[in-house]
Every structure is written in structure tokens, then in C-alpha cells.
Amino acid sequence: MTYHSATGPIGAEGRYWDALLEGRLELPRCTGCGHWHWPAVWRCSACGGWDHEWVEQPLTGTVFTYTRTHHPFGGTEAFAKPFATLVVTLDAVPVRLVGVLEGDEAGLKIGAPVAGTIARTAFGDAEIPALRWRLA
């Protein structure tokens, strides 16, 4: 992602970041064949079409995998250590998204159901939108 704080997000995924900033999750689907794309693309890899529609999605899914971070590194200054980063398979569409676990880790396992929210996190001098997951 290329993100310019003065002009906002740019690139094929710009609409994703704009929607997150407005409190929604939107993902692209090819209008020609219905194939979902994430990361966002300009041209559909399934049918070659150029047109996509952005469709709002619920923030629910299951844990595909996760990792626990115990040591600080660049970009994680805003998080208390340790913290868990989840890769979540969304319930509504065949897409996986990354976010940080909020709340108690008891019950965290692959396949656990989660619900998400959209938050903001510090990244260097900027605040960017970010997904947060809670065990459901």
C-alpha cells in the first residue's frame, strides 16, 4: 500500500483504505465473473476483466493462523507486548485479512470465531486504519 497522509491512499487498494477510514470494510469483486480479489488488482486474474465493484462486508470470520510477538520492532510501538496478530478468513467471502487481537487470548486457536472492528493505529508519525479482532 502506498499511503500519503496529505492526499490519502493511492493504488488499486485505495478504496479499501478510504472505506476503513469511514468505518466500513469494502472488498473488490469482478463485475464480469464475480471473482473476489484481495489484495486488490486492476485487472481480474480469472476472466481478464477490468471492472470491479466494491462491496461492504461484515467483520466476522475464523482464525486461519496467528503469531504472538514478544519483542518490539518498527511499526509496533503502539502495542503492549506480547500481542497476537491474526490472519482471519472472512465468513462472507473467500478472503483473508490481518489484524491484531484485542482482549483476552484465552481460547485463541486456529478455527476460533472472531468479530472485528476498525480502529486506528500509530505507524511512525501517522495514524492509519487497522483491523482489530476479538474472540467471539
Residues 114-130: tens digit of each pLDDT? 999 999 987 778 888 99
Q: What percent of the chain has pLDDT over 70?
A: 93
Instruction: Please give the angle made by the CA atoms of 36, 37 and 39, to the nearest 5 degrees.
Output: 155
Q: Label residue 79 by pLDDT band (50, 70, 90).
A: confident
User: Which domains are delineated in the chain?
Assistant: 1-57 (no CATH), 58-136 (2.40.50.840)
| pLDDT range class, residue 9, cuts 50, 70, 90 | low
Q: What is the pLDDT of residue 5?
A: 46
Exposed, middle or buried by CB within 10 Å (0-12, 13-18, 19+), for 111? exposed
What is the pTM (predicted TM-score) of this model?
0.88
Let me know: does 99 contact 131? Beta carbons within 8 Å. Answer: yes
